[in-house]
Chain A
Amino acid sequence: MIEPFPFIGLLLFSLAAGIVVTMISEETHSRRVGIIFSGFAMLIAFYMLYLGVTSGSINVSESYPYYIPTFGIQFLFQLTPVSFLLAFMATIVAFVTILAGNIDREEERIATSLILLFEFAAIGLFASSNLFLFFIFWDIGVIALFFMIYLLGSANRRRAAMKFIIYEIFASLLLLFGIILIYFYTPVHSFNINYIATNAYSIPGNMQTLIFLLFFVAFLTNMPVFPMHLWLPEAHTEASTQGSMLLSGILTKFGGYGMVLLFTMLPIGQAYSVYVAALATVSAFYISFMLMVQNDIKRIIAYTTIVEMSIILFGICAVNTVGTAGAAYAMLAHGFAIALLFLTAGSIKHIFAERDIRLLRGIVSNATSTAYVLLTGVLATTGIPLTAAFIGDILIFIGAVQAFSIYGAIPLVTIIMFGAYLYYVLNKSVFSAKEETSPVDYIGMPQKVGYAILLFFIFLFGLLPFVVLNFFNV
């Protein structure tokens, strides 16, 4: 089905144009150019949401004449409810990242063009209905973020960036191998996801297992989930605020989206779902414990990402409508919440020139708006109702209990563990008045607008979940 208007093509084209314009614009104008182009992308995403809500379903499918007939590779894009939610979130997070993330206003041109490149990759990845395109966009995204860390991070950024790229390239290697195998073992050789999903049963069992494992480890590394999590805390510690916002906000969703695809594509996934669930549970507990000994505010937030992604994986491997919808919703919610948390962490670093919770005191006195936004972000992460994370969490665990009976509720306990530590951090650094840390700078209007946008979406999707959840009921 071809929609009357090629939205995805327009999105990708405008972002590509944005990259070029940003690159050739002057350093002082580049951020504004980036805001215009990513804002345009955001408006398109809004319009698509509007169309989706009025028509009651998201069903976008676009094909372009360019293709490689020998390998059956065609430019085919489609949006499922899951991928639409993620693409929608990506446009907003990228917009806020460009608008507010660069608090110190350093290297704006290179940062902005890399963010646009990453946004391009993210939307392409979520929209591609073809594993070949999926792989290409995956690597563009990884490389864009590699340069974000390598060029724009803090002191030890090179080592962190190398670690990041080694893990990610390892993942994409496995992914490539898996894609090639799947191509050769489908009856009519094809990269098309829909075709694979309907014909995957004809792949022999052993081969399905191998393909599943290759994909699984690749996505596990990207999400990341224990035991492949080691790159994430270090990458976050060294990345700039913008890099962190994109890394946790969008890049980890590549893996999450891949997992959704994997479990819908390969029927053998059902057989392994119990083991995956066990791994996700172990990961959630392990990382919650890890989180409790962190002192760097960015590291703490980074570990909450891993816990959340473990819980999301738990929802995905339930392999039912509720669990998958919950996982998609939780990814959407997590994107907003984690971008908000990293933005506040960046603001705190900017205001107090300090990120260690042992040295930060009384943030609320000198940075009131940031402190309350941080509080709201923490509440949103622990899944308080009326924030989007609650809908995601409850759906994930309903799906999980449907699939694994009562054991499906076990990972909820981790929310107590990391929630308690986050409240401890709030108590220690934010709402304490003894020996207040003195501010060295202040944040401007863009950061406050950024807070407002992210908070708006956190509460919008928390209050009105039916808007997008109806897509899953079709």
Chain B
Amino acid sequence: MTAILIIAPLVLAALAIMLVGEEHFKTVKYIAFGASIVTLLFAILLYQTPPGIETYSWFSIAGLSFNITTSTETLNMLLMMLVSVMTPLIFLYSMGYLETPSEQRRFYFEMCLFAASMLLFSISAGFISLFIAWEMLGVTSYLLIGFWYKREHAATAARKAITTILIGDIAMLVAIVLIGVHYHSFDFATLMSQYQNTSFLYLPLLLILIAAFTKSAQFPFHEWLSDAMEGPTPVSAFLHSSTMVKAGVFLIMVLFPLYSQTGLLPVILIVGIISAAIGASNALASRHIKKILAYSTIEDLALMFIGIGLGALYATILLFFVQSFYKALLFMGSGAIMKANEDEEDIFKTYNSSKNRKLYVALLFGVLSIAGVFPFSGFFGKALLGSAASSNLPVYIMLVIIELAGGIYIFRWLFIPLRNMNEKEETVYINYNSIPPTMIAPMYILAILILLASFSYIYFPTFLLPIVKNVQQITWPEVLFVNGTAIVGLLVANYVYRQGHRFYMASKHKNLFNALNNSAIINRAYVAIAAAFMYTARAISRFDSGVDKFTYSFSEAFIESGHSIKGLVNGQVNTYLLAFIAGFIILVIAFAL
């Protein structure tokens, strides 16, 4: 079975969308949706074939072959199925979400290309195909964040994303070059089978880690993700929560044996904890309905990195799997709330989200799952992570604090739009009936998937065991701890945001609020780094123009000397004669001596 063919339907759809005329904007979404369904069917077919690695030679030079290697091993299949399932749901949601005719072709073209790159990424088992997919993810993400470039911040946000990711791309390319030269192969399999020389691998693996951190928005590269919310909501639900940002985590999971050998796990753990703290605190403080979820995504990804850092691969994979569904659902819900509130992004200016019962029930599934309430699937991911950390007390304490913040902010996110609109400040026209069924339906499918994903706790160990070696069990303390933080979060959020203590809290704890809302500090650091580069650039530029002037003064000096010699050639014969005699005398003296 040729696994690489899985990208074919979406690539063909992208080409078809590019080629159809502007007047066929209505058919474009059906082309994309159809291609995604075909992809899903193909993925199911692929799932039933035995796993294997396939290698296609792309080109080779001087004995070094650049191969496109695909694998249908367990982890690859997991991500591939995840992407194949998410793609039709997102396209279904987009049908209702995106109405402007002139945007249809561009949107579906870029989305199809993205989904194809994500599928290629998911089945890659070698650095060459991985890097192609990796870069295409960055480019399509850039295009989709800046999709509404007419909005004030969209293009800037897109630039921030691609600039941050560019750092990771180059780090990755350096790592690939080093590995390629050292092992004469770009395949993961070769790397895994001869990794005895860990001292060499230290630098490439560190560089790959940087690449993963940029892609998965971890400290200190995390700020682009919250800005990326300038993109359309389906993009946030697809790229920036459930698929693309997890590429970094996935890569580290695939290369996990190498990382545990080289002793880089503590680095991952520390960065994960810092990022989780940053994500949770900003999610508590942000007022932007999507940015709260974006910071929450940073926290989710950081939890996965913490899992890797603790060596608890099983917990990480489970969290990796279940996180997609609830996060995509929450993003879809935020898009629906925004649509009903005249595209208002400030969460304090959105109201009456319970008016649409269908929407609200679907949101509850997502919120309860992310908060970790049993039996929603989020519980299993978080509880397993807790049991993995239970032997490491400082990490465990950090986890408890982060989970507590997580419980608070997600119920805050749920409760604030729930308020009834104050008669006095009635400025927006709220219409929850305008949410089309194509936006609600995928949320219900995701809600079902959230519940079904709970069974992965039972089902996963059977086929993950070869990869993860040991499978943790959820113990009773974890059950209490995860559900407890969710309940405390619910109560605190209820007290602050439902009982009207918000203004009191905000005025009394201003310093706390500023500490939580720390994204500005990071952004200032970014600006300072850019300014340092610009300062150097200006200094070098001054030096360069100085050199240019210096060379120019040479030519002027030549012209000047020409002018001064010109005076000697004055046409007067007696001057020439005088010079001749003087020269003759000098010659005679010279010869005489």
A contact set with B: CB distance below 8 Å: 166, 227, 230, 286, 289-293, 320-322, 325, 364-365, 379, 382, 384-386, 390-391, 393-395, 397-398, 401-402, 406, 408-409, 412-413, 415-417, 419-420, 423-424, 426-427, 431-434, 465-466, 469-470, 472-473
Q: Closest CB of chain B to A466's CB: distance in Å?
A: 4
A325 closest partner in B (C-beta):
B61
Hey, which chain A residues are within 8 Å of B251, CB to CB? none
Q: A386-B136, A398-B181, A431-B149 are in contact. Are A426 and B58 (CB under 8 A)?
A: no
Q: A230-B551, A286-B540, A292-B537 are in contact. Are A397 and B167 (CB under 8 A)?
A: no
Q: List 22 A-B contacts (CB under 8 A).
A: A230-B548, A230-B551, A290-B540, A292-B534, A293-B538, A322-B61, A385-B136, A386-B132, A394-B176, A408-B177, A412-B170, A412-B177, A415-B166, A415-B170, A419-B166, A423-B163, A424-B163, A431-B149, A433-B151, A469-B61, A472-B61, A473-B61
B149 engages A293 (CB within 8 Å): no
Hey, which chain B residues are within 8 Å of A413, CB to CB? 170
B536 CB-CB contact with A under 8 Å: yes
Contact segment of B2-10, B152-160, B335-343, B575-583: B152-160
Hey, which chain A residues are within 8 Å of B135, CB to CB? 384-385, 390
CA distance A291 to B536 in the complex (A): 12
A285 closest partner in B (C-beta):
B540
A408 closest partner in B (C-beta):
B177
A409 engages B132 (CB within 8 Å): no
A473 engages B62 (CB within 8 Å): yes
Interface centre among B60, B163, B203, B530 (most CB of A within 10 A): B163
Known: A290-B541, A394-B173. 14 other contacts (CB 8 A): A230-B548, A293-B538, A325-B62, A384-B139, A397-B174, A398-B177, A401-B181, A412-B174, A423-B159, A427-B156, A431-B149, A433-B151, A465-B59, A466-B57
Hey, which chain B residues are within 8 Å of A166, CB to CB? 555
Which B525-554 residues have a C-beta within 8 angstroms of A?
A: 530, 533-534, 536-538, 540-541, 544, 547-548, 551
CA distance A385 to B131 in the complex (A): 8
Q: Closest CB of chain B to A331's CB: distance in Å?
A: 16
Q: Closest CB of chain B to A223's CB: distance in Å?
A: 17
B534 engages A322 (CB within 8 Å): no
A293 engages B534 (CB within 8 Å): yes
A427 engages B158 (CB within 8 Å): yes
Hey, which chain B residues are within 8 Å of A382, CB to CB? 166
A326 closest partner in B (C-beta):
B61
Q: Closest CB of chain B to A330's CB: distance in Å?
A: 13
Q: A230-B551, A286-B540, A416-B166 are in contact. Are A321 and B178 (CB under 8 A)?
A: no
CA distance A401 to B155 in the complex (A): 36
CA distance A379 to B548 in the complex (A): 31
Q: Closest CB of chain A to B589's CB: distance in Å?
A: 37
B375 CB-CB contact with A under 8 Å: no
Interface centre among B61, B154, B163 (most CB of A within 10 A): B61
Q: Closest CB of chain B to A235's CB: distance in Å?
A: 13
A409 engages B61 (CB within 8 Å): no
A427 engages B155 (CB within 8 Å): yes
A432 engages B155 (CB within 8 Å): yes
B177 engages A394 (CB within 8 Å): yes
B64 engages A398 (CB within 8 Å): yes
Hey, which chain A residues are within 8 Å of B166, CB to CB? 382, 415-416, 419-420, 423
A293 engages B541 (CB within 8 Å): yes
Hey, which chain B residues are within 8 Å of A365, CB to CB? 150
B174 engages A402 (CB within 8 Å): no
Q: Closest CB of chain B to A148's CB: distance in Å?
A: 22
B181 closest partner in A (C-beta):
A401
A470 closest partner in B (C-beta):
B59
Which B380-436 residues have a C-beta within 8 angstroms of A?
A: none
A-side interface mostly: helix
Hey, which chain A residues are within 8 Å of B234, CB to CB? none
Q: Closest CB of chain A to B581's CB: distance in Å?
A: 38
Hey, which chain A residues are within 8 Å of B151, CB to CB? 433
A401 engages B177 (CB within 8 Å): yes
B203 engages A406 (CB within 8 Å): yes
B180 CB-CB contact with A under 8 Å: yes
CA distance A384 to B136 in the complex (A): 8
B contact set with A: CB distance below 8 Å: 57-62, 64, 131-132, 135-136, 139, 146, 149-152, 154-156, 158-159, 162-163, 166-167, 170, 173-174, 176-178, 180-181, 203, 530, 533-534, 536-538, 540-541, 544, 547-548, 551, 555
Hey, which chain A residues are within 8 Å of B176, CB to CB? 394
A167 closest partner in B (C-beta):
B551
Hey, which chain B residues are within 8 Å of A291, CB to CB? 537
Q: Closest CB of chain A to B561's CB: distance in Å?
A: 17
Query: Which of A292, A321, A322, A427 is B159 in contact with, Cβ under 8 Å?
Result: A427
B174 engages A289 (CB within 8 Å): no
CA distance A285 to B33 in the complex (A): 46
Q: A292-B533, A434-B152, A469-B59 are in contact. Are A402 and B181 (CB under 8 A)?
A: yes
Hey, which chain B residues are within 8 Å of A289, CB to CB? 533, 536-537, 540-541
A320 engages B62 (CB within 8 Å): yes
Hey, which chain B residues are within 8 Å of A395, CB to CB? 61
B157 closest partner in A (C-beta):
A427
A413 closest partner in B (C-beta):
B170
Q: Closest CB of chain B to A171's CB: distance in Å?
A: 15
CA distance A153 to B571 in the complex (A): 41
A397 engages B155 (CB within 8 Å): no
CA distance A135 to B62 in the complex (A): 32
Closest 10 CB pairs of A and B: A466-B59, A433-B150, A292-B537, A431-B149, A431-B155, A427-B159, A321-B62, A385-B132, A289-B537, A289-B540
Hey, which chain A residues are within 8 Å of B64, CB to CB? 322, 398
Q: A382-B166, A385-B135, A433-B150 are in contact. Are A397 and B173 (CB under 8 A)?
A: yes
B154 closest partner in A (C-beta):
A431
Hey, which chain B residues are within 8 Å of A431, CB to CB? 146, 149, 154-155, 158
B60 engages A417 (CB within 8 Å): no
CA distance A286 to B139 in the complex (A): 27
Query: Which of A384, A397, A417 is B177 in contact with, Cβ under 8 Å?
Result: A397
CA distance A384 to B169 in the complex (A): 9
A230 engages B547 (CB within 8 Å): yes
Q: Closest CB of chain A to B562's CB: distance in Å?
A: 15
Q: Closest CB of chain B to A387's CB: distance in Å?
A: 10
CA distance A465 to B61 in the complex (A): 10
Q: Closest CB of chain A to B287's CB: distance in Å?
A: 24
CA distance A155 to B12 in the complex (A): 49
CA distance A119 to B303 in the complex (A): 60
Query: Which of B131, B149, B536 is A364 in contact with, Cβ under 8 Å?
Result: B149
Q: Closest CB of chain B to A366's CB: distance in Å?
A: 13
Q: Closest CB of chain B to A313's CB: distance in Å?
A: 18
Q: Closest CB of chain A to B343's CB: distance in Å?
A: 17
Interface centre among A289, A395, A473 (most CB of B within 10 A): A289
A166 closest partner in B (C-beta):
B555
Hey, which chain B residues are within 8 Å of A293, CB to CB? 534, 537-538, 541
B159 engages A426 (CB within 8 Å): yes
CA distance A365 to B149 in the complex (A): 10
Hey, which chain B residues are within 8 Å of A393, CB to CB? 173
Q: Closest CB of chain A to B260's CB: distance in Å?
A: 24
A376 closest partner in B (C-beta):
B139
Hey, which chain B residues are within 8 Å of A401, CB to CB? 177-178, 181
Q: Closest CB of chain B to A119's CB: distance in Å?
A: 29
A391 closest partner in B (C-beta):
B59
Hey, which chain B residues are within 8 Å of A402, CB to CB? 181
Q: Closest CB of chain B to A290's CB: distance in Å?
A: 6
Interface centre among B152, B158, B159 (most CB of A within 10 A): B159
Q: Closest CB of chain A to B78's CB: distance in Å?
A: 25
Hey, which chain B residues are within 8 Å of A390, CB to CB? 135
A406 engages B170 (CB within 8 Å): no
Q: Closest CB of chain A to B332's CB: distance in Å?
A: 26
A321 engages B139 (CB within 8 Å): no
Hey, which chain A residues are within 8 Å of B57, CB to CB? 466
Query: Which of B59, B149, B177, B530 is A432 in contact with, Cβ under 8 Å?
Result: B149
Query: Which of A364, A409, A417 is B174 in contact with, Cβ under 8 Å?
Result: A409
